[in-house]
Amino acid sequence: MTSLDVYLHHDRVGRLERQPQARLGFRYEPDWVEKRGEPLSLSLPVSDQLYGDEQCRPFFKGLLPEGEFLKTIARIFHVSAENSFTVLEQIGGECAGAVSLVPRDSIPPFLSESEPRWLEDGELGELIEDLPNPGLADDPEQDGVGFRLSLAGTRDKLPVLWGEERIGITRGYPPSTHIIKKPAPELAAMVANEAYCLALANQGGLKAAQALPLGKGTQEGLLVTRYDRRQEADGTAFRIHQEDLCQALGILPEQKYQAEGGPGVAAAAKLIREHASAPAVDLLTFLDALIFNLLIGNTDAHGKNYSLLLEEDGGRRLAPLYDLLTARPYWPFERKMAMKYGGEYRADRIRGRHLDRLADDLGIARRTVRRRVVELGERVLAAREAARDRVPSPWRGAELIDRAEAFIAEVAGDLRKAAAEAD
């Protein structure tokens, strides 16, 4: 196989080519160029040129899992984790957003006539335990199609269908509506952690993904509603195209942290200002996200954990928040944030001058940033009890949440003092 058809929704928009030394090349279809269709990525404007490896790898590699998650998937399919083309050939049938990659001139998964595989009693625990192995998702009677869905990130996860309080495995049609995330064994109470932080964001007035902890026997996981899906009243799901900030800026996933060459606040703000449909609104939304991640101590809020959604009318807006966890119970307080806040990585060192530089990076009035830091801190503090109530028992009683709430109060107090400092 030397090329893959690339689909955006149901349109074949281009071709991904495998070039010598495992390099990639991408070219839009001539008819897509002629009708000036939507670009796959802001880093890949619609053009008749061939995008070489340096230009297209950040977007396509950004569709894949990372780290040990990627290595495990590669072992399952007997391919090299370093060869993005062969991994996408195996699991690119349904990627984040509305992108699908399939072998040249083959039937894409969204046209599949295969029925979803609905889990029976007792199978959910087995599925979570086997992640990221496809396990139940693979069916040798389906012409070897099996599991072909890709999700970015370092956590073991699987796209699934959720309907009528049951979970199903899909091969691309209907599209998956939720994600099951398996907690990292070395991080205690991780399911309770993320469920609480997502609930806290929503209760605090921010837009964030919805999540529900699951437990079967000794296994637990987090069922997260996909924000890149839209469901009609009858339950029909539609895919919404999205890309993370690293993809949009043409930055490789291994450089997602600012200290390693990833996007900082200024670069993200510039992207929002130039491409968002309502940049003034989204810049404030981004500011709130930055403050919230600081409040909870989410040191993993890097460029791949912020995304843009492409609306049906072609407009772009920031996606709801996702992958929200407090790292405070696991790491020392001195641990760096993923992005600088006005030139400072460490939450305990942020002062008024850093908030002012943050405002300058965002292109927002300094007094607005100082005021919003205080207001959001107060909202989040007030939302803690309601957020905890939204976490089902037994996760609600996790000692980790107690520690998170105390830490949030501490950071909110420090930020209130920083915002009150003289200019």
pLDDT (tens digit per residue) in 226-235: 999 988 877 7
The pLDDT, as a whole number, for residue 145 is 37
- Residue 150 has what pLDDT? 67
Nearest to 163 by CA among 151, 148, 174: 174
Band (pLDDT 50/70/90 cuts) for residue 171 is: confident
Active site residues: 300
> Does the pLDDT value for residue 350 go beyond 70?
yes
Q: How far apart, in whole angstroms, are the C-alpha atoms of residue 375 and residue 355? A: 14
Q: What is the mean pLDDT of the chain?
A: 89
373 pLDDT above the threshold of 70: yes
Residue 234 exposed, middle or buried by CB count within 10 Å (0-12, 13-18, 19+) = exposed
Domain extents in the chain: 240-420
Q: Return phi, psi of residue 186, to 5°.
A: -85, -10
Phi-psi map region of 384: left, alpha, beta (phi>0 left; psi -120 to 50 alpha): alpha
Q: Give 326's contacts (C-beta < 8 A, 6+ positions apart).
A: 193, 197, 296, 297, 298, 400, 404, 407, 408
Tokens found for residue 49: 């040129």
Whole-number pLDDT of residue 110: 79
**Residue 234: its pLDDT value, please?**
75
- Please say if the pLDDT value at position 333 is more than 80: no
Q: What are phi and psi of 169, to 5 degrees?
A: -105, 130
pLDDT at 217 over 80: no
pLDDT of 344 reads: 96
Q: CATH code for 240-420?
A: 1.10.1070.20
pLDDT of residue 137: 42
Would you call 139 exposed, middle or buried from its count of C-beta atoms within 10 A (0-12, 13-18, 19+)?
middle
Give the pLDDT mean for 342-351.
Answer: 94
- Interior/surface letters 56-78, b for 16+ CB within 10 angstroms, e for the rest: bbbbbbbbbbbeebbeebbebee
Phi, psi at 155, each rounded to 5° = -85, 145
Angstrom CA distances, 79 to 75, 89, 136, 232, stand at 6, 10, 21, 38
| Cα–Cα distance, 160 to 117 (Å, whole number) | 10
Please give the single-letter amino acid code of residue 221.
G
Q: Which residues sit opposite 17 in a β-bridge? A: 3, 25
pLDDT at 140: 40
Query: What is the pLDDT, as a whole number, of residue 339?
Result: 97
Partner residues linked to 44 by β-bridges: 41
Mean of the pLDDT values across residues 212-226?
89
Confidence of residue 122 (pLDDT cuts 50, 70, 90): confident
Higher pLDDT: 245 or 155? It is 245
Sheet containing 219-225: give its strands across. 117-118, 166-169, 157-163, 178-181, 219-225, 211-216
The sign of the CA dihedral 247, 250, 256, 258 is: negative
pLDDT digits (tens, 9 = 90+) for 261-310: 999 999 999 999 999 999 999 999 999 999 999 999 999 999 999 999 99
